[in-house]
Amino acid sequence: MNGTRGGKPPKGRPVIERAFDLLGGFDAEHRALLLADLARRAAMPRSSALRLARQLMATGALEQLADGRYAVGLRMLEIASLAPRGHGLREAAMPSMEDLFHVTRQHVLLAVRDGAEALLVERLSTHDPSPVDYRIGGRLPLATTGVGQVLLAFAPTPVQEHAISTFVPDGDVRTADDLRRTLAEVRRGDFALGSRTTMATAAAPVRGPDGVVAAVSVVAPREQFAGSAYVPAVRAAARAISRQLTGAW
Amino acid sequence: MNGTRGGKPPKGRPVIERAFDLLGGFDAEHRALLLADLARRAAMPRSSALRLARQLMATGALEQLADGRYAVGLRMLEIASLAPRGHGLREAAMPSMEDLFHVTRQHVLLAVRDGAEALLVERLSTHDPSPVDYRIGGRLPLATTGVGQVLLAFAPTPVQEHAISTFVPDGDVRTADDLRRTLAEVRRGDFALGSRTTMATAAAPVRGPDGVVAAVSVVAPREQFAGSAYVPAVRAAARAISRQLTGAW
DNA sequence: ATCTTGGGTACCGATGAATGGAACACGAGG
DNA sequence: CCTCGTGTTCCATTCATCGGTACCCAAGAT
């Protein structure tokens, strides 16, 4: 007796988390996945993945392409567009970012802090962009990017401590003391300047009613980078966005 | 006997759908909601809403503001940014949309079809925009907007039938025959022209490997609208985007 | 000071939705 | 013919889910 059918040792993970585990299987290089891949990446049985995937499709969070592969659905965009720190912020920022973009004709970034990382909310680039691998919705390190340093400099102390003790050296930030000094300078001057091997950046903080909520930056190839011109432009844009924010936040 | 504790008549709605019901409570005018509002809008008990909300927060899909209200979280943006028909399309389209925006200095829209509606994927506007209530992530009718008509003209027949039989008159589309004629013209000329009370628009189809996948348009106040200039510009932009798409889709 | 209203939260018994292993159909290679 | 890997259905078991009840608290109203 006992057919070995059925059984349930799901380790007690709530359904919702498992569903988002499934959605978390997608990344920039894998925007369309087979059901089997989805299951593998979320480390769950195929039958479970299928059931969840169908429910997610019913809500529109997941779509099925012509070839049967799955992809993130438009419902996700529809809901995400209402995130105050996402598109909400973006709406207020876009006009000023456009201006900054016109003037500099270089990459313009807008990022917010999410835990110990920065999340890219918007990016403007020209037709044939010098390759930045920064993607909207992608994550950036706090310690070694312009926007990241701005966000970090005005973050709560524990966040700073954590970042200082765990960062990986890159560009002109080589030691923990480098980083500490950099953050102090950012706070003093209200902007960040930095460079890596081929690219350089200038960033400035965007403030809401309760302090720094985001950071804008210009990123350009090192040899085209005009710091003395970009810094005031970026700071002006950041202030313009901040002004928008205090109105409609 | 029996304490009336417990019980479970959830009418059989899967957890995932209920979770998205909760998220669906947000809209453009309500980007931050109390738990009680969330529960009311999703028509579920407060205790259930609390449980679901906590799980959604654990995944980052939901955030809690300083005042305790709930809002859509960054995780949603992170995942949504991987939607092929959302940000995926957007990435390919942005440079050309920028160009179109520079030339016309009017609203530039990018939309895809989702069922019987159009969904706005991107919108560029100037600082002090003439008021269009179109929002990124928002939905537009197919029958009475420029992008909508383009998407509809190349949609499967059943979709067209449905739209023709249920549309609500607006602007220069007054009868079902108006609409039928308009769609035929769109197919013939490969663009749409339309006007409402105060605004006018020119739209053109964006094609992927398997036909029309999106539509671009310029929207301007009627008195500023230069159709003869906008139509070629919009069509050129649409073709440029289409070219991008066949490469990296 | 007392009542009322409406938030948020904790508790917990009952139960049905969720679960995943087994088994099947299909197509592509080998 | 036999793998291999895919998507899919089925279903016995069971644990996560459910929501009523109850509680605390702050803000108004009485």
Helix (H, G, I), strand (E, B) or coil at B86: helix
Q: Which of residues 47-106 of B touch A (CB under 8 A)?
A: 52, 55-56, 58-61, 63, 65-66, 71-88, 90-91, 94-95, 98-99, 101-102
Nearest CA in chain B to A126: B95
In this structure, are strands B62-64 and A211-221 parallel, antiparallel, or unpaired?
A: unpaired
Q: Which comes out higher in pLDDT, residue A179 or B210?
A: A179
Shared-domain flag, residues A214 and A130:
yes
What residues contact B133, with CB distance under 8 A and at least 6 apart?
Answer: none
Lowest mean pLDDT among A124-133, A136-145, A228-237: A124-133
pLDDT confidence of residue B127: 76
Over residues A28-85, the pLDDT tens digits come to 999 999 999 999 999 999 999 999 999 999 999 999 999 999 999 999 999 999 999 9
Which of these three, A56, A79, A102, is where a domain ends?
A79
Q: For residue A4, tell me if it sits in a domain.
A: no
The distance (Å) linking the CA of B71 with the C1' of C2 is 37
H, E, C per residue of chain A:
CCCCCCCCCCCCCCHHHHHHHHHCCCECCECEECHHHHHHHHCCCHHHHHHHHHHHHHHCCEEECCCCCEEECHHHHHHHCCCHHHHHHHHHHHHHHHHHHHHHCCEEEEEEEECCEEEEEEEECCCCCCCCCCCCCCEEECCCCHHHHHHHHCCCHHHHHHHHHHCCCECCECCHHHHHHHHHHHHHHCCEEEECCCEEEEEEEEEECCEEEEEEEEEEEHHHCCHHHHHHHHHHHHHHHHHHHHHCC
Q: For residue B1, tell me if it sits in a domain.
A: no
| C-beta separation of B140 from B111 below 8 A | yes
Q: For residue B60, tell me if it sits in a domain.
A: yes
What are A51's two structure tokens?
């059931």
- The rounded average pLDDT for each run of 10 residues, N- to C-terminus, in chain B (249 residues) is 48 88 95 96 95 96 95 97 94 93 94 97 82 87 97 97 94 92 97 92 95 96 93 98 77
Distance CA A183, CA A195 (A): 15
A·B CB contacts under 8 A:
175
Average pLDDT over residues A12-24: 93
Shared-domain flag, residues B222 and B195:
yes
Q: Which of residues 6-25 of B touch A (CB under 8 A)?
A: 14-17, 19-20, 23-24
| Exposure on the CB side of residue B130, measured as CA atoms within 13 A | 15
Average pLDDT over residues A184-203: 95
Residue nearest to nucleotide D20 (CA to C1'): B5
Shared-domain flag, residues B103 and B225:
yes
Name the residue with tokens 């954590």.
Answer: A162
Shared-domain flag, residues B61 and B124:
no
Nucleotides of D under 7 A from a protein CB: 5-22
CATH of the domain at B59: 1.10.10.10
Shared-domain flag, residues A192 and A234:
yes
Any strand C atom closer than 7 Å to A52 CB: yes
Distance CA A170, CA A179 (A): 11
Average pLDDT over residues A212-229: 95
Helix (H, G, I), strand (E, B) or coil at B238: helix
- Listed residue (B200, B134, B192, B145) closest to B168, CA to CA: B145
Shared-domain flag, residues B198 and B174:
yes
What are A90's two structure tokens?
């973006």
Q: What is the side-by-side strand order in the sheet with A32-33?
A: A32-33, A70-72, A62-64
Q: For residue A1, tell me if it sits in a domain.
A: no
Shared-domain flag, residues B170 and B98:
yes
Distance CA B74, CA A121 (A): 9
Which of these three, B41, B61, B79, is where a domain ends?
B79
Shared-domain flag, residues A219 and A108:
yes
Residue nearest to nucleotide C7 (CA to C1'): B36
What are A130's two structure tokens?
């010098």
Which of these three, B23, B54, B79, is where a domain ends?
B79
Shared-domain flag, residues A100 and A174:
yes
Q: For residue A6, tell me if it sits in a domain.
A: no
The distance (Å) linking the CA of B49 with the C1' of D12 is 31
pLDDT confidence of residue B71: 97
Q: Tell whether B248 is within 8 A of chain A (Cβ).
A: no
pLDDT confidence of residue B209: 87
pLDDT grade for A141, boundaries at 50, 70 and 90: very high
Distance CA A119, CA A123 (A): 11
Q: What is the side-by-side strand order in the sheet with A117-124?
A: A139-141, A117-124, A107-114, A211-221, A199-208, A192-195
Q: For residue A116, tell me if it sits in a domain.
A: yes
Q: For residue B6, tell me if it sits in a domain.
A: no
Shared-domain flag, residues B26 and B139:
no
Q: Give strand letter and number of the nucleotide nearest B36 (CA to C1').
A: C7
CATH of the domain at A208: 3.30.450.40
Q: Position A183: which residue type?
A: L
Q: For residue B220, tell me if it sits in a domain.
A: yes
Any strand C atom closer than 7 Å to B46 CB: yes
**pTM for this entry:** 0.92
Give the Cα-Cα-Cα angle A227, A229, A232 (nearest 5 degrees).
Answer: 100
pLDDT confidence of residue B8: 56
Helix (H, G, I), strand (E, B) or coil at B73: coil
Shared-domain flag, residues B102 and B221:
yes
Quote the domain boundaries for residue A39: 15-79
- Calculate helix-pair angle for A227-247, A89-104, nearest 10 degrees: 160
Distance CA B203, CA A204 (A): 37
For chain B, how many structural domains are there in total?
A: 2
pLDDT confidence of residue B3: 39
Shared-domain flag, residues A20 and A71:
yes
Cα distances (angstroms) measured from residue B58 to each of A77, B63, B64: 20, 9, 11
